[in-house]
């Protein structure tokens, strides 16, 4: 594993495997991988050296290649997202915490890692009996089932504490097929949240043979994991491998976020699905069919008023110098690859500015005036409407400390990002891809896909 990690392809090479633009760590495919949900045997050194690819812990290994294959780097790497591991080592430190959590450090000779575990009472509803005889008779010394010097086998979930360094020798970005950027970080600090801690008890005569060769067997199985994932016809599958087995209809539904009818369907600008004002459809690429419902505003009267107010404020901003939050606006534009004076800026505002608007307050109070608790429901309507619009991808909490929200509009946020990410605004010059900003990730994928398709159609028609 260390060898593979050290020779990861650098920036500009591919790391995904297939010729399509779907990444091995695409959020739609990660959960399809059986290996992601399995407890994978790893040495602690391999665990500590796992790269963090697009925020996901991944096991990478060179793909087996025949001499007849081309030298294209896009076919050289297997990427397997992982969430669970099975480790074996010796306990070198124990720290019993007052909240019931016990922190133990285990070392297997390749490295050490912190493991957190919670002692469960046998009367707990979540307590499960041991499956193997040797695990039923675990030692109980000093109130613990294990002690320093014990050999233990731990099954648990990987938790990444720090994201590592994106400017390491391997490069900060792997460009998959020159279209999908993969942000790769090495040097992450991790710990394991244990779901099972089993002490290997050498005093049990009935299983002595298995105990003494257990460590060697564990190492052989760790080595076998790397060999298995390197095979072309491996029994270990990642999400993309499983996707190809599901058939065209299911695969299409997954890649279009559960909507198998998206292909060929009219986009939000032209379909007649509800009474959403055309202004919202054009400015936000959104309709009320996608809205999160709020009982106090069942007809979306208050939501419509807020959106109209925000769009009016945005239309008045033509230069970044006129922004109230100029520094934050410049940082925001930099995140999606737009230059400060190249276009009208996005609109950032505070929650308090909406609450203090007299017209919006009047509309909200009129909606809750007939309820039993109008004052409480007034506050609820404001907060729930903001939360619903953030969930729907219309707003994004940009800076919690400053109470700053971003209006995620098409013309000033989504379109500039999509054009940049798909190379539609290059002007004949190469511009490197950029990872998705956090406020882009809050937008439903279906909306982004429809908008990207709409922009592609527009570009084709203009040519």
Q: How confident is the model at residue 345 (pLDDT cuts 50, 70, 90)?
A: very high
Query: Residue range 46-53: average pLDDT?
Result: 89
328's enclosing H/E stretch is helix 326-335
Q: What is the pLDDT of residues 59-73, one digit of tens each?
A: 887 765 554 444 444
For the ranges 73-87, 124-138, 224-238, 259-273, which has the lowest average pLDDT?
124-138
- Given a cut of 80, is residue 435 above it in pLDDT? no
Share of the chain above pLDDT 90, in %: 28
Q: How confident is the model at residue 130 (pLDDT cuts 50, 70, 90)?
A: low
Instruction: Scan for tokens 């429809």, then name that residue.
Output: 450
> How, if at all, do strands 395-399 and 189-199 pair?
unpaired
What's residue 256's pLDDT? Answer: 66
What's residue 216's pLDDT? Answer: 87
DSSP assignment, residue 168? S
Q: Which residue has the higher pLDDT, 165 or 43?
A: 43
- Given a cut of 80, is residue 394 above it in pLDDT? yes
Quote the crossing angle between the two packed helices 301-316 and 358-368, to the nearest 10°: 170
Q: How confident is the model at residue 432 (pLDDT cuts 50, 70, 90)?
A: low
- Given a cut of 70, is residue 342 above it in pLDDT? yes
Q: Which residue has the higher pLDDT, 260 or 113?
A: 113
- Given a cut of 70, is residue 309 above it in pLDDT? yes
φ/ψ (deg, to 5) at 50: -60, 135
Q: How confident is the model at residue 144 (pLDDT cuts 50, 70, 90)?
A: low
Q: What is the mean pLDDT of the chain?
A: 78
The listed range with the strongest mean pLDDT (157-166, 174-183, 188-197) is 188-197
- Given a cut of 50, is residue 242 above it in pLDDT? yes
Cα–Cα nearest to 420, from 256, 182, 179, 166: 179
With H, G, I as helix, E, B as strand and everything else as coil, classify residue 78: strand
- Given a cut of 80, is residue 147 above it in pLDDT? yes
C-alpha–C-alpha distance, residues 60 and 230, integer Å: 9
Q: Which residues contact 405 (CB under 8 A, 6 or more apart)?
A: 348, 349, 350, 351, 386, 390, 395, 396, 397, 398
> How, if at all, do strands 52-53 and 56-62 pair?
antiparallel
What's residue 253's pLDDT? Answer: 72
pTM of the entire predicted model: 0.51
Share of the chain above pLDDT 70, in %: 75
What's residue 21's pLDDT? Answer: 57
What's residue 7's pLDDT? Answer: 39
What's residue 433's pLDDT? Answer: 64
Q: Say if CB 414 and CB 285 are below 8 A apart.
A: yes
- Given a cut of 70, is residue 13 above it in pLDDT? no
Question: What dihedral do alpha carbons 396, 401, 403, 406 form, nearest 10°?
Answer: -30
Query: Residue range 30-58: average pLDDT?
Result: 89
- Residue positions counted in the chain: 463
Q: Which residue has the higher pLDDT, 10 or 312?
A: 312
- Given a cut of 60, is residue 386 above it in pLDDT? yes
Q: Say if CB 312 and CB 305 are below 8 A apart.
A: no
Q: What is the pLDDT of residues 183-226, one digit of tens each?
A: 788 888 999 999 888 888 765 544 444 556 888 888 999 888 88
For the ranges 51-55, 134-138, 211-215, 382-386, which has the lowest average pLDDT?
134-138
C-alpha–C-alpha distance, residues 233 and 237, integer Å: 9
């Amino acid at each position: 594993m260390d060898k593979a990690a050290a020779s990861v392809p650098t920036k500009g090479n591919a790391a995904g495997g297939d010729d399509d633009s779907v990444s091995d760590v695409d959020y739609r495919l990660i959960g399809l991988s059986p290996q992601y949900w399995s407890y994978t045997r790893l040495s602690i050194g391999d665990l500590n050296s796992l790269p963090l690819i697009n925020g996901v812990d991944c096991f990478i290994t060179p793909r087996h290649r025949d001499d007849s294959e081309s030298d294209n780097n896009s076919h050289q790497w297997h990427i397997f997202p992982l969430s669970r591991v099975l480790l074996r080592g010796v306990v070198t430190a124990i720290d019993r915490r007052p909240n019931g959590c016990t922190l133990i450090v285990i070392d297997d000779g390749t490295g050490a890692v912190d493991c957190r575990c919670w002692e469960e009472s046998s009367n707990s509803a979540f307590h499960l009996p041991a499956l193997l005889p040797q695990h039923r008779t675990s030692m109980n010394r000093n109130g613990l089932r294990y002690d320093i010097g014990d050999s233990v086998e731990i099954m648990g979930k990987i938790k990444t504490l720090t994201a590592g360094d994106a400017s390491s020798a391997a490069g900060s970005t792997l460009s998959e097929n020159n279209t999908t950027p993969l942000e790769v970080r090495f040097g992450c600090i991790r710990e394991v949240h244990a779901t099972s801690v089993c002490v290997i008890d050498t005093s049990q005569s009935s299983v002595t043979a298995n105990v003494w060769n257990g460590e060697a067997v564990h190492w052989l199985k760790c080595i076998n994991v790397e060999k298995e994932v390197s095979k072309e016809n491996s029994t270990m599958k990642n999400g993309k491998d499983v996707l190809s087995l599901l058939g065209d209809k299911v695969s299409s539904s997954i890649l279009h976020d559960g909507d198998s009818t998206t292909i060929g369907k009219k986009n939000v600008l032209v379909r007649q699905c509800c009474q959403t004002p055309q202004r919202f459809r054009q400015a936000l690429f959104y309709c009320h069919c996608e809205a999160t419902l709020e009982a106090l505003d069942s007809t979306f009267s208050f939501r419509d008023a807020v959106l109209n107010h925000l769009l009016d404020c945005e239309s008045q901003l033509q230069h970044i110098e006129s922004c109230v939050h100029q520094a934050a606006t410049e940082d925001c534009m930099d995140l999606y690859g737009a230059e400060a004076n190249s276009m009208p800026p996005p609109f950032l505002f505070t929650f308090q500015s909406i609450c203090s608007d007299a017209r919006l307050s009047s509309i909200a109070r009129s909606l809750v005036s007939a309820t039993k608790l109008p004052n409480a429901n007034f506050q609820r309507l404001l907060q729930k409407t903001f939360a619903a619009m953030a969930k729907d991808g219309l707003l994004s909490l940009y800076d919690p400390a400053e109470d700053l929200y971003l209006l995620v509009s098409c013309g000033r946020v989504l379109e500039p990002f999509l054009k940049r990410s798909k190379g539609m605004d290059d002007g004949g010059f190469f511009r490197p891809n950029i990872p998705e900003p956090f406020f882009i990730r809050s937008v439903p994928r279906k909306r982004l896909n429809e908008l990207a398709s709409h922009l592609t159609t527009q570009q084709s028609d203009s040519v």
